[in-house]
Structure 1
Amino acid sequence: MKMQRSIMIAIAGMAATFFGCRQAEPVKDFEKFQYDYSIEQLHGEFSENMMAKARNDLNELNEANRTGKFRGTLESIDTHETPDWYLDAKLCIFYDWGPYSIAGYGEKGWSRARYPDWYLARMYHEYQDDHRLAWGEDFQRDDFLPLFTAENFNAREIVDLVKMSGARYIVPFNKHHDGFCLWDSKYTRRDAVDMFPGRDLTAELVEECEKAGIYHGFYFSVEEYEYPMIDEEDELYIRYWSSSLAPDNAGVVDEAGEIRGAFSGELHNRMLSGKIPVRDFIDEYIVPQAKDFIDRYDPDILWFDGEWHRPATYYKTPDIVAYFYNRAAGRKEVVSNDRLGIGTREAHGDFYTSETDEVVERMDDPWEENRSMSESYGYNHTDSLENYLSADELIQMLVRIVAKGGNLNLMVNPDGTGKIPQIQVDLLRELGSWLEINGEAIYGTRPYEKICDNTQLGQPVWYTMSKDSAYAYAIVFDWPRSETFICSGVNIVWETEVYLLGYDKPLQWVDTGRKSWGMSARIPEEMIGNPEARPCKHAWVLKFEYDKRNEFGN
């Protein structure tokens, strides 16, 4: 690792500063971070070589798309089929972690969620006063980088946690909007190998995923808050993602809405260290960087983000997706999300991505709910028990999402050292224990003819169905107050058996209606009034043979 690492010990204590404590004293005793190469030096020594590599990678990508099944258009990639493994998996761990996790703070904004993973932008805008109070008047973005130690990041333990939770795939935040890469990228020096912690964190995690048979994804922001660019006179300027992230004197310069601002070595060498200037942000940086990752780490999932200001044709995401598909053809089945450009969500890609606001109706197309166990996307010092889901709520959320045909992309938010909050570990353990008994009603299922209903006493019941339509599952959130499970939506083959998952004897049952089908199944005698005898906690599953031809219904 080629850099200066001399940082005063006093800086480590800053990571414990909580924004809830408004009277915190500014931290003054720290040494400013300075990378080995300034942005001006990177421009002079590395830009031309990197842009030449980019042209080569872009040519390779275009050639693969010219000769492969898929072309770099939305129409072409829309012909790709979402693989069964993704539809069957149902649960993912969304590993939201990066240098922003050091600050660990986010206020609630326009949605119900908080976004600590946006801190490295908001410290210069709406969080500016709080940032100065907690970290000091002159503490800049890149002064966080030496604190990104990853001392508690252990890829094997992470994969063990994924398996324990019952998740079948993981999507780590390989590059968020600040541009710091968790892999050894050849298109930047702003990565975990060239900077801190001096390790290829992605390679470590991919190796363990492949050993364990866990699908792994590539989260990749197609935008960055700021990026150093080269103009027609070979001078540097700053490209801003949007006007809200740019200073007042920056201006719109083209029809794509790119915002230009003046380059300041004094400021930007403390904000954008390691970013190598280019002339074309998309062709010489975004597209070749994504291709390089795909070539080196062979992900199973492409998970784009940051696309909402400009069209897919601008970001050339269809070209990246087509390359991803063509490269995987004949080897394995892969999947890409819908965040390709403005207007593409729920219209293109292999699955739709919902965020915080859970889909309320069954969707015919594949979809995924992205949700934290707390209110926060990224580690948040201010999270408390009050804003975390309970184990009941977490399991019920998974059931609701699966019943409506979706997957749950469940966020895990480690701190800057890589340590996962114990409450998240405990919740994942509870979830995994429940799935160990009831996973048959979750994995590999499809929506039933009815999403949900209530028992006669108003207790919620949700339904799923095996993908061959042979069996269906009634998932009861509240243990009955009576001695029976009453599920009015059950369409069952007459004189077949009903089972409570986790209990190996069939239950006695009768039909419950004259005008419509339903079922009343008797609770085993040993479980009446004895919670310890129940097969699990949180929710209970009745398995029945589905009358898919409705031969026995009215």
Structure 2
Amino acid sequence: MGWLLSSNLLGLSQDQVTAKQSAVQLDEAWQKASAKYDKQRNALLSTVERESREGPFQPDWQSLAQYQAPDWYRDAKFGIFIHWGLYSVPAYGNEWYPREMYQEGSAVNKHHVETYGPLTKFGYKDFLPMFKAEHFDPQAWAKLFKESGARYVVPVFEHHDGFAMYDSDLSDWTAKKMGPHRDLAGEIALAIRAEGLHLGASSHRIEHDWFLDGGRKEGSDVNDPQYAAFYGPAHPRLGDDGASLAEDWTYVSPAYAKDWLARNAEIVQKYHPDLIYFDWWIGQPSVRPYLAEFAAYYYNESSKRGTIGVINSKLVDMQKTSTVLDIERGQSASILSEAWQTDTSVSNKSWGYIENDTFKTPEFIVQQLADIVSKNGNLLLNVGPKSDGTIPQAVQQVLLEVGGWLKVNGEAIYGTRPWTNFGEGPTKVEAGSFHDTQTKPYTAYDFRFTTKGKTLYAIEMAWPTEGEAVIHTLSDNVVGARKVSAVNLLGASAELSFTQQADGLHIHLPAEAPGKYAFVYRISFEDEKH
């Protein structure tokens, strides 16, 4: 009665209250199936409770708001995201295949039934024997990521589907115990650290609370009690009726929230990631107290080992300044005062591997990186490996070309900070999520600025046809204008001639461009004042 009363106080309709009564029953089935790991879970929770209060942070938002991102992250600028999991086996639709295959009438549902048979005969669990990762070479991956110019790598340790890609002591449904029978995330972690890169870990476990709810509505193996520990509570998601994430009151039991907390603490204890990436939905009211406890635990734990860790989160899931804001497939229109991040995929259609995919060009990624860095952000670029453990050749080529650009021009990216303004030119970026591909093509009139010490870098997004570049921001007719003393074009050997005029800095260019796209001018000034 106490729980129902609190639901009514939240303004839920009677239908929603009835749905949540049913949700409690579903949760009990999941708890029963998960009880075999109660001892290990409780031990982790005890550690979290203690260590979240032993250190510079406490598990409350006022304390957590004092957080500041570490310099390594602010200097890194470019990272690689990896969406690899059981969903790479069907390689159809996108990484939400396990959800959509149970949604009657969806394109994925029709494909699944036609390809594999009815859901009572072939469910998501039946892809496990097909997930072999037989060609997975973590050292080759790590070398590729380093060649791409990335400074940190963030494997998805567990996606919404509930299959752990790491060696968890809280579940039977892991890559170590089933499928490949390897600690895939752990092997990646060792390899990338051997290459001198920072390790991140992405956890999407909180969405698993409702992810497979479609299987409740029709005959499927989701309703089979022997698979409850894998398929989770599978609560009906109330937010699917069009409600925003902030209005989504899908039930999360204290038991599930504690399990979520324990699983993330286990990742921290076993793998000591420098960064934790959380997807949508961790900001639900019933989850936020556990989120605050985890954040205090992780910040305190990482501070004891060395540099404080990073948590990426979205929207208002965490209190402002207690986290590093992540904007999914989108950007900022202006310089943000705090460090932030865009995450997007090299794939135009999916985060996980699918057949017949299309990919962003190296030029698009380089230009996006320049825009993001000029506004105090980082770019986390995702790749989706195949189920056999190989990264598509087309994706490798994109990464290597981005890396080639960074080898020449990286001094304008790594370790830089925003200038007084992010840039100039006609091409504007719309702020917010899910429209990073809607930006119009950049032109030779578009510049993005970064700075390091006394040096200004001007990144021109395309090569001009007039034989000169004009940076209007650096005109000599404004109060306090700084006098330019030298201009160098990265990748070119000779210093460039220039004139600083009333309409801007005119830079005289060589006959041929020193690369394919996005050209960097290193600009020095006679004075040392900004």
Into which bin does the TM-score normalised by the smaller protein fall? 0.7 to 0.9
**Cα distance, 1:284 vs structure 2:** 4.6
| Structure 1 counterpart of 2:162, from 166, 179, 184 | 179
Which residue identity does 2:496 align to in structure 1? L
Is 1:519 aligned with 2:505? yes
Deviations 1:157-190 (A, max 9, x none): 1110110100000100100011111111000011
Q: Which residue of 1 aligns with 2:492?
A: 503
Using the size of structure 2 for normalisation, the TM-score is 0.79
| Structure 2 counterpart of 1:368, from 332, 338, 341 | 341
Following the alignment from structure 1 to structure 2, what is the Cα–Cα distance between the partners of residues 60 and 270? Answer: 29
Residues 291-310 of structure 1 aligned to structure 2 (within 5 Å) = 291-307=265-281, 310=284
Following the alignment from structure 2 to structure 1, what is the Cα–Cα distance between the partners of residues 233 and 133? Answer: 24
| Structure 1 counterpart of 2:382, from 404, 411, 429 | 411
Q: Which residue of 2 aligns with 1:8?
A: none
| Structure 1 counterpart of 2:373, from 388, 399, 402 | 402
Q: Which residue of 2 aligns with 1:438?
A: 409
Q: What is the root-mean-square deviation in Å for CA atoms of aligned residues? A: 3.2
Contact 1:189 1:275 in 2 (8 A): no
Q: Which residue of 2 aligns with 1:146?
A: 129
Is 1:122 aligned with 2:100? yes
**Cα distance, 1:308 vs structure 2:** 5.4
The alignment-based identity, stated in percent, is 28
Contact 2:492 2:514 in 1 (8 A): yes
Q: Which residue of 2 aligns with 1:461?
A: 446
Contact 1:188 1:276 in 2 (8 A): no
Following the alignment from structure 1 to structure 2, what is the Cα–Cα distance between the partners of residues 383 and 154? Answer: 23
| Structure 2 counterpart of 1:215, from 174, 195, 198 | 198
Q: Which residue of 2 aligns with 1:230?
A: none
Distance 1:306 1:271, change over 3 A: farther
**Cα distance, 1:314 vs structure 2:** 4.5
Contact 2:123 2:220 in 1 (8 A): no
**Cα distance, 1:366 vs structure 2:** 1.4
Which residue identity does 1:472 align to in structure 2? L
| Structure 2 counterpart of 1:267, from 193, 203, 224 | 224
Residues 266-285 of structure 1 aligned to structure 2 (within 5 Å) = 267=224, 269=226, 273=230, 280-282=254-256, 284-285=258-259
**Cα distance, 1:330 vs structure 2:** 4.1
Distance 1:546 1:450, change over 3 A: farther
Q: Which residue of 1 aligns with 2:473?
A: 489
Q: Which residue of 1 aligns with 2:430?
A: none
Q: Which residue of 1 aligns with 2:478?
A: none
Is 1:545 aligned with 2:524? yes
**Cα distance, 1:57 vs structure 2:** 1.6
SS of 2:168's equivalent? coil
Which residue identity does 2:449 align to in structure 1? T
SS of 2:37's equivalent? helix
Contact 1:452 1:460 in 2 (8 A): no
**Cα distance, 1:458 vs structure 2:** 6.3
Following the alignment from structure 2 to structure 1, what is the Cα–Cα distance between the partners of residues 489 and 424? Answer: 18
Following the alignment from structure 2 to structure 1, what is the Cα–Cα distance between the partners of residues 189 and 307? Answer: 17
Contact 2:282 2:288 in 1 (8 A): no
Deviations 1:382-433 (A, max 9, x none): 313xxx2222212111111111221111010111112111111111111000
Contact 2:484 2:524 in 1 (8 A): no
Distance 1:171 1:546, change over 3 A: farther
Distance 1:124 1:186, change over 3 A: same
**Cα distance, 1:203 vs structure 2:** 1.8
Q: Which residue of 1 aligns with 2:514?
A: 535
SS of 1:59's equivalent? helix
| Structure 2 counterpart of 1:327, from 286, 297, 301 | 301
Distance 1:309 1:211, change over 3 A: closer
Structure with greater proportional helix content: 2
| Structure 2 counterpart of 1:131, from 112, 118, 137 | 112
Following the alignment from structure 1 to structure 2, what is the Cα–Cα distance between the partners of residues 458 and 47? Answer: 56
Gaps of 5+ in 1: 1-39, 107-115, 227-239, 250-261
Following the alignment from structure 1 to structure 2, what is the Cα–Cα distance between the partners of residues 452 and 265? Answer: 52
Gaps of 5+ in 2: 1-27, 235-251, 427-441, 476-480
**Cα distance, 1:541 vs structure 2:** 0.7
Following the alignment from structure 2 to structure 1, what is the Cα–Cα distance between the partners of residues 421 and 222? Answer: 61
Following the alignment from structure 1 to structure 2, what is the Cα–Cα distance between the partners of residues 428 and 495? Answer: 35
Q: Which residue of 1 aligns with 2:438?
A: none
SS of 2:68's equivalent? coil
**Cα distance, 1:486 vs structure 2:** 1.6
Following the alignment from structure 1 to structure 2, what is the Cα–Cα distance between the partners of residues 413 and 500? Answer: 35
Contact 1:95 1:173 in 2 (8 A): yes
Contact 2:408 2:491 in 1 (8 A): yes
Following the alignment from structure 1 to structure 2, what is the Cα–Cα distance between the partners of residues 128 and 546? Answer: 62
Residues 194-273 of structure 1 aligned to structure 2 (within 5 Å) = 194-226=177-209, 240=210, 245=214, 247=216, 267=224, 269=226, 273=230
Deviations 1:230-261 (A, max 9, x none): xxxxxxxxxx469x647459xxxxxxxxxxxx
**Cα distance, 1:130 vs structure 2:** 2.1
SS of 1:389's equivalent? coil
Following the alignment from structure 2 to structure 1, what is the Cα–Cα distance between the partners of residues 344 and 35? Answer: 42
Matched residues, number: 461
Q: Which residue of 2 aligns with 1:318?
A: 292
Q: Which residue of 2 aligns with 1:112?
A: none
Using the size of structure 1 for normalisation, the TM-score is 0.76
Following the alignment from structure 2 to structure 1, what is the Cα–Cα distance between the partners of residues 405 and 176? Answer: 39
Q: Which residue of 1 aligns with 2:20?
A: none
Distance 1:129 1:508, change over 3 A: same
SS of 1:188's equivalent? coil
Following the alignment from structure 1 to structure 2, what is the Cα–Cα distance between the partners of residues 378 and 152? Answer: 17
Is the deviation greater in 178-187 or in 54-63? 54-63
Distance 1:134 1:246, change over 3 A: closer
Following the alignment from structure 1 to structure 2, what is the Cα–Cα distance between the partners of residues 96 and 295? Answer: 22
Deviations 1:469-503 (A, max 9, x none): x1111111221212222221237843611100122
Deviations 1:206-236 (A, max 9, x none): 111222211011101242435xxxxxxxxxx
Q: Which residue of 2 aligns with 1:94?
A: 81
Distance 1:495 1:96, change over 3 A: closer
Which residue identity does 1:424 align to in structure 2? V
Which residue identity does 2:281 align to in structure 1? E
| Structure 2 counterpart of 1:381, from 355, 359, 362 | 355
| Structure 2 counterpart of 1:476, from 446, 451, 460 | 460
Q: Which residue of 1 aligns with 2:432?
A: none
